A = this chain, B = another copy of it.
Amino acid sequence: MCSNTCLSKLAVIPQLSSQSIAAIHQRIAGTPDTWTVDEIGDGNVNLVFLVSGPDGQVVVKQALPYVRSVGESWPLTARRSFFERKALEEHAVIAPEYVPRVLTFEEPAAITVMEFLGSHIVLRNGLMQSTRYPRFSDHITDFLAKTLFFTSDLFLSAAEKKAKVSLFNENVELCKITEDLIFTDPYLVDSRNRWTSPQLDSLAKAFSTDRELKVAITELKAKFLTASEALIHGDLHTGSIMVNQQETKIIDPEFACYGPMGFDVGLLLANFVLSYFSQAGLGGNPAYEQWLLQQVTEIWSEFARKFSALWDSHLQGDYLPQRLLTNGSRAYVIDQLRTDYLARVFDDSLGFAASEVIRRVLGFAHVADMERIEDPERRAVCESHALHVARELLVSHRKYTDIATVLDLIRAQRTWA
């Protein structure tokens, strides 16, 4: 059987320019007619091919003008690949060790040719195999601290930042998906929503009529719409990260835009929380659950530590002109501002984490961590634990001012089962 996908597989190489062919040749040798092309993508929206030649392999990623997993009934601008490349370029300057190298790019065909991460696996899959990645929290917090700090007013002049904001402001269609799928649909009756039914029917109904949740999610959405803090990845779940024991690579920043820093931190935290709550549905693995929660603690605390350190070494943006700091005030002012700043990012992160958990259980796109629990009764219990934590954090995030208290909330929910 040859589907659309097969046609695309055959069609992708002929769409490449001679420069792109030359760039691939330089990396993997051989010629187009001797290369093999295999589709390897498992995401919702793009085609991803592995092109193999005598000396190696490259990844060819093509954005189609619709959502791959849905079809042409859900159109989506292929120009998202342009913003993905722009974000990868920013990241390649700021944190090059954590992103795949881009070899070439075909703007009209929306094709990006990238380094193949052959020794890495998708972090979500690694977590589902209960693999530990001892260097992961160090890497991801380095990436988060650097990409958020260096694209913000903390480091840039207002003019530099505004130019970047304007560039990524054009990525409206992808942002609109986030606005709908994260901040709206899970809180109403929408045909794109799904959940473990009938077990979670009553919870889904309760969430769709919950007035406090509607207020909280709208105030969180307002931050996403108005807070031009930093260039955020925009979709930093465990499926957007590739890992092995040595390295961590952050991929797929096509949702990149200027937004609140807590959005990236929160989505990442949420995906570890979801993975944690999925464990009970698989019989439980206390040591691995402990490791997952340890990641939650480390992601926040190491991010905060590294982000703080950048204030000491690189605070040169228009946020705080150095001439404002007199000798007698420098330490006090910076410490107080940093404390307030991190408290706000923490508070935002809890809100965005909660919104991610909710949309992954009640919305359109679920996570494999939960989906693999075959028994719907067990899965529903795990998912409802996650939902209860998320609702508490979304409505009452201001009550939680450190990560340890959040962990207590999570553990208490697990125990309550």
Best-surrounded residue of A208, A225, A337 (most CB of chain B within 10 A): A225
Contact with B along A315-339 (1 / 0, CB 8 A): 0001111011110110011001100
> A209: nearest residue on chain B (CB-CB)?
B326
Q: Determine, out of A104-112, A216-224, A238-246, the stretch whose residues face the partner at the interface.
A: A216-224
Task: Evaluate contact between A333 and B169: CB separation under 8 angstroms.
Answer: no
In the complex the two chains form, what is the Cα distance from A100 to B378 in whole Å?
67
The answer to the question of A404 belonging to the interface, with a C-beta cut-off of 8 Å to chain B, is no
A324 and B184 contacting across the interface, CB-CB below 8 Å: yes
A170 neighbours in B (Cβ, 8 Å)? 162, 166
A222 near B319: Cβ-Cβ < 8 Å: yes
- The answer on a CB contact under 8 Å between B176 and A169 is no
A228 to B224, CA, bound (A): 10
Q: A179-B158, A218-B337, A324-B218 are in contact. Are A319 and B166 (CB under 8 A)?
A: no
Q: Which residues of B contact A159 (CB under 8 A)?
A: 172, 176
Partner of A158, one of B175, B214, B329: B175
Q: Would you call A215 and B318 a contact (CB within 8 A)?
A: no
- Closest residue of chain B to A340, judged by CB? B219
Per a CB cutoff under 8 Å, which of B153, B163, B166 touches A226? B153
Q: Does A94 contact B (CB under 8 A)?
A: no
Interface residues on A, range: 35 or more
For A321, give the chain B residue with the smallest CB separation.
B184
The residue that A211 contacts in the complex, of B229, B321, B323, B333, with Cβ under 8 A, is B333
Q: Judge if A227 is at the interface, Cβ distance under 8 Å.
A: yes
Judged by a CB distance under 8 angstroms, whether A165 is at the interface is yes
Taking a contact as CB atoms under 8 Å apart, the answer to whether B158 and A324 are in contact is no
Interface residue A49 (Cβ < 8 Å from any Cβ of B): no
Max chain B Cβ within 10 angstroms of own Cβ: one of A153, A190, A222: A222
Report how far A158 CA is from B178 CA in the complex, Å.
12
Number of copies: 2
**Once the chains are docked, how many angstroms separate the CA of A187 from the CA of B333?**
13
**Binding site secondary structure of chain A:** helix
A155-171 CB contacts (< 8 Å) to partner B: 158-159, 161-163, 165-166, 169-170
A163 CA to B340 CA, complexed, in Å:
31
CB distance from A154 to the nearest CB of B (A): 9
In contact, A329 and B211 (Cβ under 8 angstroms)? yes
Query: Are B169 and A324 in contact, CB atoms less than 8 angstroms apart?
Result: no
Contact with B along A170-207 (1 / 0, CB 8 A): 10100110010000100110100000000000000000
Contacts of A321 in B (CB 8 A): 184
Contact, CB under 8 Å: B328 / A209: yes
**Assembly CA distance A340 to B219 (angstroms):** 9
Asked whether B188 lies within 8 Å of A323 as measured between CB atoms, the reply is: yes
Would you call A326 and B226 a contact (CB within 8 A)? no
Within 8 Å by CB of A209, from B158, B184, B211, B329, lies: B329
A residues touching B (Cβ–Cβ < 8 Å)?
153, 158-159, 161-163, 165-166, 169-170, 172, 175-176, 179, 184, 187-188, 190, 208-209, 211, 214-215, 218-219, 221-222, 225-229, 318-321, 323-326, 328-329, 332-333, 336-337, 340
Sample of 25 A–B contacts (CB below 8 Å) = A153-B225, A158-B176, A158-B179, A161-B225, A162-B172, A163-B169, A165-B165, A166-B166, A166-B169, A184-B321, A184-B324, A187-B324, A188-B324, A208-B326, A209-B326, A211-B328, A211-B333, A215-B333, A215-B337, A218-B320, A218-B337, A219-B337, A219-B340, A225-B228, A226-B227
New A-B contacts (10) at CB < 8 Å, excluding given A165-B169, A190-B323: A153-B225, A158-B225, A161-B225, A163-B169, A179-B318, A209-B328, A211-B328, A211-B329, A215-B337, A218-B333
